[in-house]
Chain A
Amino acid sequence: MVTVRLATPLRKFSDGRPEITARGKTVREVLENIDREKPGFLEKVVENGEIKQFINIFHNNEDVRFKKGLDTEVEEDDVISILPAVSGG
């Protein structure tokens, strides 16, 4: 199982929990599997097959935009974090 950490606005899909677990061989599959359990989840994160503009997805702390995006392969015990894009320091 892959651990998925959720930004606060997504926790309505996890009964308020900051982390959930899901199955899948790629980031996309993991998100689709969550969506099957919690309909509406995927469209919050993905638009026209791409990660939405104001969302960053990290696989084991690395931005998937620097990997294979939603097609980034994941393994058992990996961690995916879905976070809002904020910065300025």
Chain B
Amino acid sequence: MHNVTRPHHHGDAMTLIGLRCRNCGKRYPAEALSICEECFGPLEAEYDYEEIKERFSREAVQKRPPTLWRYRELLPVSSGSCIVDLHAGFTPLHRADNLAEELGIRELYIKNDSVNPTFSFKDRVVSVAVSKAIEFGFDTVGCASTGNLASSVAAHAAKARLKCYIFIPANLNLGKVVQTLAYSPRLVSVEGNYDDVNRLCTEIAGYYNWGFVNINLRPYYAEGSKTLGYEVAEQLGWEAPDRAVVPVASGSLLTKVYRGLKELETIGVIDEVSTRMTAAQSEGCSPVTTAFRTGSAIKPVKPKTIEKSLAIGNPADGSYALKVLRETDGSAGAASDEEIIEGIKLLARTEGIFTETAGGVVIGTLKKLVEEGEIDRDERVVAYITGNGLKTQDVLHSYLQEPPVIKADLEEFRKLIEQKKEVVVW
């Protein structure tokens, strides 16, 4: 019976000190706050790293269950009994020799986060945010979402028996809407793009006392993404990669993956980090890549791309992502709609991993940056694949050829083969 998943008791981790403004440095207690009262800057969780050093070791972590909560000292939930755990995290780090060979690089890994409980990396941030919502005593949670967050919040709210309001743009991928509806949240479809939905939710959060995971719980929520840094380091034998290619929407994931690696360095679990962070965006919405490449500040854009989950035209953490790219001597690229589709197919064809359009952005951008010589062929590269291909089948479908239809007859098949069509790629 050792394979049965049963509730695991997570111990308490009193390592969170409070919140601190990333812009002006003002400190706040650990409450449901996300914005600095003085300068409107974003607040970030602050920890007692001396205390963490006492409790956290490679050996201790390796004995814990394979979920993101194995790094609980580095996460902002203090009470173990509040943790909502659908077994998110500790997803495979897949050595991608076929794709590496195709791209002409020596060592490539795919961090396959498409196999999380609701099939995207959002389960990491949501597991943390919903747990924190329970710790704060909220009975209702919600979010503004481009789809993946919607499913994840709805699933975690269902497990935790919380009321749940989800707001999505009206033009969202069908697969994401269907999946979200299955968990029975109160789903509201809003006319407009993600930036419109987000603006509405920010206003709603000011009127209702709900735990919006990516608004008033954002400092806690965002911390969940750090586990994508911890896991990759652990899975590489407690080493940071030379290069991490990360999809960029708000810019939070990229900054938090890097923060995760740096925290492991701070507590002495890994050696000095020299990872070059690399942003992947779609050409139809690339405010961070454009700013990085032109050496300017972020200018908001109106998204126009088949890639909807990364289509944030006004990225709130864009300036921080830009800072990390510059500090780490990283790079940034953008994939066109055609390159996104090719990226999805390339990953599926070479590695057997079916990703959504955001993953197509990552692979398309990686390919381009290798070809441009931006990524050295001898680097140890990790590409983050953050969502599952089943979520955006509607987009991919129109780019694929229909399979030939034959009668259930051997002669028919022989005729088809004699037409010398390739069997694998019709």
Q: Please list the residues of chain A having a beta carbon within 8 angstroms of any beta carbon in chain B.
A: 5, 7-9, 18, 44, 52-56, 58, 61, 63, 65-66, 81, 83-89
How close is B157's CB to chain A, nearest CB, in angstroms?
A: 16
In the complex, the answer to whether B40 meets A66 with C-beta atoms within 8 Å is no
With A54-B41, A65-B300 as known contacts, state yes or no: A89 contacts B203, CB within 8 Å.
Answer: no
Which residues on B sit within 8 Å (CB–CB) of A8? 35, 206
Contacts of B214 in A (CB 8 A): 86-89
- Report the bound CA distance from A81 to B35 in whole Å: 16
| B 186-226 to A, binary, CB cutoff 8 A, 1 in contact else 0 | 00000000111111001100110000001100100110000
Query: Chain A residues with Cβ under 8 A from B221's Cβ?
Result: 88
Complex contact A56–B143 (CB within 8 A): no
Shortest distance between the CB of A44 and any CB in chain B (Å) = 8
Report whether B316 and A88 are in contact in the complex, using a CB–CB cutoff of 8 Å.
Answer: yes
User: Does chain A have a CB within 8 A of B34?
Assistant: yes
With contact pairs A9-B37, A89-B145 given, residues A83 and B199 touching in the complex (Cβ less than 8 Å): yes
| Contact of B36 (CB < 8 Å), options: A9, A83, A87, A89 | A9
User: Considering the chains assembled together, what is the distance between the CA atoms of A81 and B146 in angstroms?
Assistant: 22
Residues of A within 8 A of B316 (CB): 54, 85-88
State whether the Cβ of B302 lies closer than 8 Å to any Cβ in chain A.
Answer: yes
Residue B355 interfacial (CB < 8 Å): no
B319 located at the interface, meaning its Cβ lies under 8 Å from any Cβ of chain A in the complex: yes
Q: Tell me whether A84 and B222 are in contact in the complex, defined as CB-CB below 8 angstroms, given that A89-B145, A89-B214 are known contacts.
A: no
Contact A63 B143 (CB under 8 A): no
**Chain A, residue nearest B252 (CB):** A88
Within 8 A of A (CB), among B161-206: 194-199, 202-203, 206
Q: Once the chains bind, are B300 and A89 in contact (CB under 8 Å)?
A: no
CA distance A8 to B316 in the complex (A): 18
How distant is B141 from chain A, measured CB to nearest CB, in Å?
14
B-side contacts of A5, CB under 8 Å:
203, 206
Cβ of B314 within 8 Å of any chain A Cβ, yes or no, is: yes
Q: Please tell me if B249 contacts chain A, counting CB pairs below 8 Å.
A: yes
Task: Find out whether the CB atom of B202 lies under 8 angstroms from the CB atom of A88.
Answer: no
B146:A83 contact, CB within 8 angstroms: no
State the total of A-B contacts with C-beta under 8 angstroms.
Answer: 99
Query: In whole angstroms, what is the CA distance A58 to B196 when docked?
Result: 10
Closest 10 CB pairs of A and B: A88-B250, A54-B40, A87-B316, A9-B37, A84-B35, A89-B145, A87-B250, A85-B316, A89-B149, A83-B202
CA of A58 to CA of B195, assembled, Å = 11
Q: Are the CB atoms of A63 and B194 closer together than 8 Å?
A: no
Task: Give the Cβ gap from A74 to chain B, nearest Cβ, in Å.
Answer: 17
User: Are the C-beta atoms of A52 and B39 separated by less than 8 Å?
Assistant: yes
Q: How far is the CA of A87 from the CA of B316 in the complex (A)?
A: 6
Which residue, of B195, B202, B312, B317, has the highest number of chain A Cβ atoms within 10 A? B202
Which residues in A have their C-beta under 8 angstroms from that of B148? Answer: 89
Do the beta carbons of B250 and A66 come within 8 Å of each other? no
A63 contact set on B, CB distance < 8 A: 195, 199, 300, 314
Q: Which of B34, B146, B312 contacts A84 (CB 8 A)?
A: B34
Q: Tell me the bound Cα distance from A65 to B37 in angstroms.
A: 23
A28–B42 CA distance with the chains assembled, in angstroms: 25
Known: A9-B40, A54-B42. A86 touches B202 (CB 8 A): yes
Contact B40 A52 (CB under 8 A): yes
Complex Cα spacing A58 to B146, Å: 21
User: Which residues does chain A contribute within 8 Å of B319, judged by CB atoms?
Assistant: 53
Q: How far is the CA of A44 from the CA of B322 in the complex (A)?
A: 25
24 contacts between A and B (CB under 8 A): A5-B203, A8-B206, A9-B37, A54-B39, A54-B41, A54-B42, A55-B40, A58-B199, A81-B199, A81-B203, A83-B202, A85-B316, A86-B34, A86-B35, A87-B195, A87-B198, A87-B315, A88-B149, A88-B221, A88-B250, A89-B148, A89-B198, A89-B214, A89-B312
Q: Evaluate contact between B198 and A86: CB separation under 8 angstroms.
A: yes
A53 to B23, CA, bound (A): 10
Q: Let me know if B23 and A54 touch, CB within 8 A.
A: yes
Contacts of B199 in A (CB 8 A): 56, 58, 61, 63, 81, 83
> Roughly how many angstroms separate A85 CA and B34 CA in the complex, as a whole number?
10
Contacts of A7 in B (CB 8 A): 35, 40, 202, 206
B40 touches A84 (CB 8 A): yes
From A18, A55, A56, B206 is in contact (CB under 8 Å) with A18
